[in-house]
Amino acid sequence: MTQLNDLLSQLTKSSVVKTMGKQVAADPNQVKQLIQLGLPTLIQAMNQNASTPQGAKSLAKALDDHKDDPVSNISAYLKNVDTQDGAKILGHVLGSKSSGVERKLSAQTGLQPNQVSGVLSQLAPVLMGMLGQQKAQQGVSVDGLGMLLGGLLGNSDMMGMVTSLLDSDKDGDVMDDVSKLLGGFFGKK
C-alpha cells in the first residue's frame, strides 16, 4: 500500500462501495467516483498539515491513535464505523473549507452534499486506520510523514482535481490555502 492507486483499489471494491453507499442511500457508481476524488483530497490536505512541525506532530499522534483500527477487512469495519469520529477528522483536515470541498465534490459526482459528507465521514476513519498501520509497520517518524503521504500521492492523475478542490483563492497553490486551515486541527480532538 505505498501508492494511491493501491489504496484506491482497496476502497473501490464493489463490496466496500456498496456498504458506503447504503449508509447514505447513494448510487454505488457515484460513491466510487467520490472515493476516487475524495481520497486524494484528504491525503493532500494531510500532507499539507505534515509540512509544518506542529502539524506533523499532531498528525503523527492522530495516526498513532488509529493504528489499531481493524481496517484490514474494510467492508466489515464500515458496518460499525464511527462517522462522528469521521466528521471530526474531516473538520481537522479540511476545517472551514469542509463545506466548500463537499459542494465541489457534490457537483463533480451528482451526490447531494449531505451524501458527500456521509461518505467522507466513513472514508476518513478508514484512511486514518490504514495510514496509522502503515506508519507503525514502516516505523515512520514525525519527520517522515510528508514522505509517507507524498509517496501515496505520487504523480496521481487526481492531483489536478485535488488542487481545484482545495485552491479557494485560485492562485494554483494549495499550500497557502490548506496551511491556513490546518495549522493544528489534529491537536483539537
Whether the pLDDT of residue 180 is over 90: the answer is no
Could you tell me if residue 95 is left (phi over 0), alpha (psi between -120 and 50 degrees) or otherwise beta?
left
Could you report the per-residue pLDDT of 67-97, keeping only the tens digit for each? 999 998 898 999 999 999 999 999 988 877 8
Whether the pLDDT of residue 2 is over 50: the answer is no
Whether residue 19 contacts residue 58, with contact meaning beta carbons closer than 8 Å, is answered with no
For cell 447504503, the residue is 22
109-138: average pLDDT: 94
3-13: average pLDDT: 80
Helix (H/G/I), strand (E/B), else coil: 116: helix
Whether the pLDDT of residue 52 is over 80: the answer is yes
